[in-house]
Each structure stands twice: as C-alpha cells, then as structure tokens.
Structure 1
Amino acid sequence: MTAAGTHELRRSLNGVTATFIALGTVLGSGIMILPGLTYSSLDRSAWIPWAIAALSVAPLLVAYSWLGRSFPSASGVAHYSQLAFGRPLGATSGVLAIIALATGIPATALTGGRYAAQFTDEPALQWLIPLVLVGTAICVAASGTTVSGRVQTGLTLSLCIVVVVVCTAAIASADSPRPDLSFPGESVAAPLAAVFVAFTGWETVAFTFEEHARPDLIPRIFAISYVIVTTVYALILLALFSVVASDDPGLTEAPLLLLAQKVLGGDVGRYLVTGFVVAAILSNVLASAVALSRLVFGMARDRHLPRHLGVLTATGNPLRSVFFVGGTLLLIASSVCVGLLPFEQLFVLSGGIYFLLYAVGAASYAALNPRRGAKLVTLLSLVAVISVGVLAASSLVVSLCLAAGVFAVIKLVARTWRQPATDETRSGAYGNGET
C-alpha cells in the first residue's frame, strides 16, 4: 500500500537531522586508519594530501548540492543523469551506485569487526560485529526516517564530541603540533588517492534528498557538514602530531587507539576506542543503508528495477526496499566472513565506481544548470576526479569495464523490450487495416 496514494517519500527530514546524516555518511571507516597511514608515510607533511583532497572535493559538493536542491529525488545521480543524458545512462548510473554501496557498506562493517577483534583480542568479533552492525542498521532503518534520523543524530553527535575532547586534550598536552610546510613531492600521490575516499559520502546523501522538508537548505547542509568533517580530520592529525611519533608501528593499524591511550591511559583508552569504532561504523552503515534503500526504491519507481520494490507502506516507509537491501548486505558480509569473497576487492570496486559517479554527477550538473559558472565548476570537478582516478588506476579500470558492461546490457534489454512492442503495434495496425 502506498502512502497517501502517491509514490513519493515523505518530506520529514529537517535541516539539523539532515546535517547529522551527512556527517555520519562521510565519517566512516576512513577516520579509523587513514590519518595514521598518511602520518606514517609523510611525517608532519601528512596534512598536505588532506588539504588537497578537501579543496578538490569542494566543486563536486557545489554540483551535488545544486542538483539536490533543484531535483530532489531518491534516485540521486541516476535521476540527474537520466534527466541530462537519457534513460540508459540513468539506469547505468543507478546500477553502478547500487553495486558501490552494496560492496562498500559490508566493507565498512567488516573494517569495524577487524578493529573490534584487534582491540579486544577476541577473534570471533571479526565476523560477529559486521553481522550485528548490518542487522541493527536494517532494523533501525525499517522503523522509519524519524527514528533512524534520531539514532543517526545521537551517534554522530556523540562521535564528534569524543573526537573534539580527546584531540583537544592531546594538542593541549604538547608544546605545539608544528605541521611541516614543505611539500613531500611525488610521495604525496598514493596518500592523496587514499585520503580522497575520506571525503566521499555526500553523493550518497543525495539519495535522501527526496525526504528533505526544505530542499532549499541542501547547499547549507553540505557547507556545514563539509566544515565539520574537515575540522574533525584536522584535529585528529594535529593530535597525532602532538603525542605520537611518526615511526610508531601502531599508526598503520590503530592510530586512534594510540591517541586514546596517550591521553586517557591504556585500559580506558582501549575501551573508549572500541566503543568509538563500533559507534562510528554503525553510524556510517545506518546512513548508507538508508540511502541505498532509497536508491533501490527510486530505481524501482522509475521502472529500472522490479516494481514491487517501489512500494511504500501507509506511513511512507519503503519497507520492501529496506529488507531487500538488508538481505543483500548480510549475504555479501557473510560471504566475505566465510571466505567466498575477497575483503580487499570490496573497497577496490566501490572506490572506483565512486570516481565514475562523481564524473557523471559533474557532467549532469553542467548539462542541467544554464548558468555560466556551472561549466567552470564541472571542469574543476572533472580535473579532481581524473587526477585522483589516475592515481588509483587499477580500481578505475575495473570500474570502467564494469560500467561499459552494465551500459551494454541495459541498451540490449531496452532494445529487446522495444522490439516486441513495435511488432505488436504494427500487427495491430495491419489488422485494423484489413478490417
């Protein structure tokens, strides 16, 4: 049964909740390991790839915020690209986004499980935590946008408070973090490709735009969440500079654990970081799972997926798509846990697809926005995407091949379905003529 006889999601998200959802979507597994990895490889020049990534993603946020304000749809980039370039590319973009999220969400949950197992010395948590996180996220998502939004707000707010308190204490305990202002040269390339992933997530938020009570606030929501995300990353880096040596072997495995132990002591720091990791991963998995369910709903409503997935309950909740997404995510996570799927390949696949979707979003922005400045924003966006994509060449090649295959299949299916309709129409026309 549909809500109020329509096929549109309820516009129930206010600006505050939407901002915390954006924060929870972006602050995922990248916050757990990437600051330590960059610090270990670049010493106190580690802030440079973060600064470059933060600046390079800004034009992309301008494009996606304008698209969301102008065309709020559960299909996100699939809707934008369909409006700009037609149904085949729209369907291809949607399928690729589903693949990216369906592989990226379990990868994030599995990362949380590995952290929890390492921090507690309980190997069973490596597979138990991911399944619990995904299952919990789906149950919360099934309860509706109001409940999931409140949970998301509480989790993300708590995470931000913990980061600010711990990092501020670490910075205050040292004379000065003193970042190195010298450019590290070619060695910045690999860290930059990795760090760019830490600034992805806003394109996923686009799948919830249809539920925003005031789409005109979307640019402001993006701007505020961007400032907070950048500040959180900067605080973590400065805190590491303050109390951890760049040659500490723990930086490549558990930088936040090192930070908490330095500030709070061994046992307290360990328990705090374990809770922090689980909460951060749950926040990201919940936000991304809700977004994926909206994408599946939107794609079904647009007749790109089976129509029964595009049905709403009387309260406006797309339960069928939520449970379909939940089953898919649990299946993929379980397959990795038992060794049927390689864990690392999930990140390679999802990361490469995001580069393509950024490019498609930027191109759609240029095609749909008549203002002159839109072309400059698109150019800057494409330069950023192509530059970082070249650094992550192997992932991008796999994704390009996948995109070409998906597009070819969609075109073939569309042509196959169109042909019988054409033949039937002609047959009817001849029959009328004979009569």
Structure 2
Amino acid sequence: MTQETPPTLRRSLTWVHGAAMTTGSVLGSGVLILPALTANIAGPAALIAWIIMSALSFPIALTFARLAVKIPHAGGITAYVRAALGTRMSRSLSWLFLGTFPIGVPIVALIGADYVGSVFALSHWQITILAASIMLISIALNFRGIELASWIQVMLVILIAILLVTAIAGASPHIHSANFHPFVIHGWWSVGTSAVMIFWCFVGWEAATNLTEEFRNPHRDVALGLIVASIVIAILYLALAIVTIGAKAYGDHLGLAPLSILVSIGFGRTAGIFTSVLALLITFGTVHTNIAAFSRMLYAQAREGEMPHLFVTLHKTYQTPTTALITMGILSEITILYYGLFSPNLSIMIQLISVMDMATYMLSMFSATRLLPRNTGQWYTAFIALLLCALIYLFSGWTMIYPPLLIGLGWILAKKRPSTTAETLLEHSECTID
C-alpha cells in the first residue's frame, strides 16, 4: 500500500514579491508609536538603539536567507529546528508559535485600529469591529493565492514607503540640533530598554522562509529579497527616528498617536487623514504577510505529521491551505472579541509577544550554527546574530520565563516519533529546487 503524496504549493514568487512580503511583515505597526515611545524612554540616545537594531537585522536576514536556500521548506523556522535539534524540539517550538499567532497578529490589527480610533475618536466597539474587518479581509485575500496576496503586498509596501518618506520630508525642515542635546538624558541602561522595545519592529524576517517552496528560484530570490528588504527598512526606521527626535515630535503629552503629531508639523490639518491611511496600510500589510506565512507553517507541520492531518487540505483551484486559514481566522476573531468584551492591557500582551519572538529567533540562530558550515562567513554571521539576540533577551524582565514554559509544555506533550534528520530534509530540499 503506497502512501498518498501530499499536495504541493504552487511556485509563482520572485525576489520582488519576497522583498515586498518581508518588508510588509517587518515594517509593522510598531513604526506608528515606537520612534516616539523610545525617545520618551532614552531621549536622543534612542538613536543608538535604532542603529544597533538596524545593524542586527542584516545578520538575522542573511542567516534566514542561507537557511531557506539550504532547506527550502514551507515550515520555515520549524523545519530548521527539526533538522538541527530533532523532531521533538520542532514540535515544542510549534507550541510557541501556537501561543504567538492567536495573540500577536490580532494585536497588530488592534493597534492599527486603535491608532485610527485615536485620530477620529472612534468608540471601543468601532475600533474592535475595524480590527476584526482587517483580519477577515486579509484571510479572504489569502484564500485566492499567494501570488495575488504578494502583488497586493507589493502595492501596499510602495504606498507605505511613499507615505513614510512624505512624512519624513515634511517634518525634516523642522529639525533643530538643539533637540539632540543633551544626548544621554536617562542613562545608558535606557538605551538597552529601548532596544528591547525596538526588537518588535524588526520581527518578521522569517516570513519569506515559510514561502520558500513557492519561489521560482529560491537560491537567488530569497536572499536577494531579504537583503533589499533589510536596506529599505533600516533606512526608513532610522530616518523616522532622526526626524522624530530632531523635530521633538514625542512626549507623554502627545497622546496615543505620536506619528500624527510628526505629520502635522509638516502638513497641518491633513495629519489625521494621512496617518490614518498610513496606519491602516501598515497594519494590513503586517497582518497579510503573517497570515500567509503562518498558514504555510501549519500546512508544512501537518504534512510532516506534527499537526492534525486536516491542515494538509489545499484549495482545489488556488492551492492555498484552506483549513489553516479558516482556523487562523476563527482564533483571531476570538482574540479580538475578547478585547472588545474585556479591554485587556495591550502593552502586556505586546511584551509577551516580543519576548516569544526573541526566543524563536535565538532558536533559529542556534539551529543555523549547527546546520551551516563551521568557520565560514555564514556560520559567524549566525553566531553574531545569536549573541546579540541573547543579549537583548536579558533586558526582557519577568516575561523571559514565558517562552520556556510554552516550549516545555510542548516538549512534554510531544509524541515520541522518529526524528526527521537534517539529511532527510536536505534530500527533500534537493527535490524541490529547480
């Protein structure tokens, strides 16, 4: 009796799609508030934290690109951990992902909706309905296929970049050198604290790796897309941080929409509409890419027998993971409904998601040091990224215990099955690369 071959994902992506999807995933809702919030914490010295995190993004992105080429698997991070540390650890990591998505992605939608609500004085339930609509529209578009989703992402990233550049250019004439002095207002520890918050702005590089099986030429396109995305994101973030501090567009008195203050410096009354459009585009782009990536991860895990087999189901026409998308939609709307009913503290939820992302990246970089050739540029790049991620993790306070608890729970519950070795995954990779 022969085992039925699981359906395969359609190859249709280029490096342009990869760069757009990654940029949309990384350039998230944090950009709406974190340049101002980190300036509140560290003053002008927050620029150092932004520079450090921008520099860290390059070894992380390059390492993910190397791993994606070595193991072009829709499971992304879970596939790398499986190859380096075994099937049981991969299943344990799946629990970390399962604890992240149902909270993390809806939070992104809620932050964007809340930003719009703060500009237009929307009620709590209007904000909740707006966030739910963002999730539903993105789920529906992802049903139609990754190529449509990726081209939508390309257009969104272009619009986001134009709007951010316009905001930066409009406020640039109002930069004053006096606003950078004194430089270190709250001590150097505040720079480390700012870096922990900023980490959330640089999460999302792994999104392209979950889509590796759908690239036409993964050897070239994944790395090129990630490098282009790294450059674009670093330039936009640093420019926005400089303008925010130089134009003094921060402070507790500015309320929940600091970016609208920055825009109003250059454009006056149009700031409300401008920042609302920007907030919605950024939010939708982040949600859109994360839904695409996580649904592929669920599909890949089910294909490997590590998740229920029903997640292997693909749409007959569009070859998209329908069951995974439906499940994600239901869990997301439950989280948003919980927010609507009980109004939980989003800052604590954001902190938990950020620390889980850091733990995931540390496992990814550690796996890379076991999979990539030792004493090579690739290996040292992964090692440097691992050390820097671990250093930032130390600033996360009590929330650092949450990822080990989830991974430990997954380890206990994971069934004992034969481990998938690195050789098995590499053999599968050779079959999938054209």
- Structure 1 partner of 2:9: 9
- Structure 1 partner of 2:393: 389
**CA 1:349–1:117 in 2, change beyond 3 Å: closer, same or farther?**
same
Report if the CA contact (8 A) 1:25-1:204 is conserved: yes
Between 145-154 and 224-233, the greater mean CA deviation after superposition: 145-154
**1:33 Cα deviation (Å)?**
0.6
Report if the CA contact (8 A) 1:77-1:94 is conserved: no
Q: Structure 1 counterpart of 2:16, which letter?
A: V
Q: Distance in 2 between matches of 1:381 and 1:354?
A: 14
- Structure 1 partner of 2:114: 114
- Structure 2 partner of 1:102: 102
**1:359 Cα deviation (Å)?**
1.3
Q: In structure 2, the residue corresponding to 1:202 is in which secondary structure? A: coil
1:51-66 to structure 2, matched below 5 A, reads 51-66=51-66
Is residue 320 from structure 1 mapped to residue 323 from structure 2 by the alignment?
yes
1:259-298 to structure 2, matched below 5 A, reads 259-266=262-269, 268-298=270-300
1:247-262 to structure 2, matched below 5 A, reads 247=251, 249-250=253-254, 253-262=256-265
- Structure 2 partner of 1:427: none
- Structure 2 partner of 1:354: 357
- Structure 2 partner of 1:370: 373
- Structure 2 partner of 1:426: none
**1:287 Cα deviation (Å)?**
0.8
Q: Structure 1 counterpart of 2:393, which letter?
A: G
- Structure 1 partner of 2:238: 234
- CA deviation profile, 1:160-210 (whole Å, cap 9, x unmatched): 001112211221354669756955422212111101221111023321222
Report if the CA contact (8 A) 1:244-1:258 is conserved: no
Q: Distance in 2 between matches of 1:246 and 1:349?
A: 25
- CA deviation profile, 1:271-303 (whole Å, cap 9, x unmatched): 111111111101111111111111111111111
1:48-197 to structure 2, matched below 5 A, reads 48-123=48-123, 124-174=125-175, 179=180, 182=183, 184-197=187-200
- Structure 1 partner of 2:215: 212
Question: Structure 2 regions of 5+ residues with no counterpart?
Answer: 418-434
Q: Distance in 2 between matches of 1:288 and 1:342?
A: 23
**CA 1:341–1:208 in 2, change beyond 3 Å: closer, same or farther?**
farther
**1:15 Cα deviation (Å)?**
1.1
Is residue 404 from structure 1 mapped to residue 405 from structure 2 by the alignment?
no
Q: Distance in 2 between matches of 1:383 and 1:262?
A: 40
- Structure 2 partner of 1:423: none
**1:341 Cα deviation (Å)?**
5.9
**CA 1:288–1:328 in 2, change beyond 3 Å: closer, same or farther?**
same
Report if the CA contact (8 A) 1:177-1:241 is conserved: no
1:328-347 to structure 2, matched below 5 A, reads 328-339=331-342, 343-347=346-350
**CA 1:17–1:204 in 2, change beyond 3 Å: closer, same or farther?**
closer
**TM-score, with normalisation over the residues of structure 1?**
0.88
- CA deviation profile, 1:370-416 (whole Å, cap 9, x unmatched): 24124423331221121111100322111112211211111xx327x
- Structure 1 partner of 2:425: none
Q: Distance in 2 between matches of 1:21 and 1:36?
A: 26
**CA 1:333–1:248 in 2, change beyond 3 Å: closer, same or farther?**
closer
Between 337-346 and 302-311, the greater mean CA deviation after superposition: 337-346
Report if the CA contact (8 A) 2:22-2:226 is conserved: yes
Q: Distance in 2 between matches of 1:313 and 1:53?
A: 39
Report if the CA contact (8 A) 1:138-1:286 is conserved: yes
**CA 1:241–1:182 in 2, change beyond 3 Å: closer, same or farther?**
closer
Q: Structure 2 counterpart of 1:128, which letter?
A: I
- CA deviation profile, 1:27-83 (whole Å, cap 9, x unmatched): 111101100012223332221111111223332222211001111111111111111
Q: In structure 2, the residue corresponding to 1:414 is in which secondary structure? A: coil
**1:105 Cα deviation (Å)?**
0.1
Q: Which has the larger radius of gyration?
A: 1
Report if the CA contact (8 A) 1:49-1:191 is conserved: yes
**1:150 Cα deviation (Å)?**
1.6
Report if the CA contact (8 A) 1:94-1:295 is conserved: no
**1:84 Cα deviation (Å)?**
1.3
Q: Distance in 1 between matches of 2:9 and 2:284?
A: 24
Q: Distance in 2 between matches of 1:281 and 1:352?
A: 20
**CA 1:82–1:174 in 2, change beyond 3 Å: closer, same or farther?**
closer
Q: Distance in 2 between matches of 1:392 and 1:306?
A: 34
Report if the CA contact (8 A) 1:98-1:296 is conserved: no
Report if the CA contact (8 A) 1:45-1:181 is conserved: no
**1:102 Cα deviation (Å)?**
2.3
- CA deviation profile, 1:201-230 (whole Å, cap 9, x unmatched): 102332122211111221221111011101
Q: Structure 2 counterpart of 1:322, which letter?
A: L
Between 89-98 and 300-309, the greater mean CA deviation after superposition: 89-98
- Structure 2 partner of 1:31: 31
Report if the CA contact (8 A) 2:6-2:303 is conserved: no
Q: Structure 2 counterpart of 1:21, which letter?
A: M
Q: In structure 2, the residue corresponding to 1:265 is in which secondary structure? A: helix
- Structure 1 partner of 2:422: none
